[in-house]
Amino acid sequence: ETGVTQSPTHLIKTRGQQVTLRCSSQSGHNTVSWYQQALGQGPQFIFQYYREEENGRGNFPPRFSGLQFPNYSSELNVNALELDDSALYLCASSLKGMNTEAFFGQGTRLTVV
């Protein structure tokens, strides 16, 4: 059983640039969710993907977008980066429609300068 993996682990970008973060979900899981964790805060839900379609979205602007691929892996894209986008981005995989635990990757630390 493979766990959730994210890449890269760290990233530094300049304000206004675009970034793509990647996630491989846990074997057998069909749903991927992305969370943003600012310093000193709990993770905040960005959006969720199921069957390659967005299946719920948190309070994040449209410049945050995503993709899910047939193998259930996923990408998070952020356009027009702002300084406040600096955070830990977490990917979590789970099974849709079931109240079960979500398993998280180690996260990508994004710094916008």
Question: In the complex, which residues of this chain contact another protein (CB under 8 A)?
Answer: 4, 6, 33, 35, 40-45, 48, 50, 55-56, 58, 90, 92, 94, 96-107
Q: Of 39 and 83, which has the nearer Cβ to another protein? A: 39
In angstroms, what is the minimal distance from the CB of 34 to another protein?
A: 10
In angstroms, what is the minimal distance from the CB of 53 to another protein?
A: 11
Q: Of 9 and 80, which has the nearer Cβ to another protein? A: 9
DSSP string, 30-82: -EEEEEEE-TTS--EEEEEEETTEEEEE-S--TTEEEEE-TTS-EEEEE-S--
In angstroms, what is the minimal distance from the CB of 56 to another protein?
A: 4
Q: Of 9 and 79, which has the nearer Cβ to another protein? A: 9
Say which residues have a Cβ less than 8 Å from residue 89's Cβ, sequence separation at least 6: 6, 21, 34, 35, 36, 37, 76, 107, 108, 109, 110
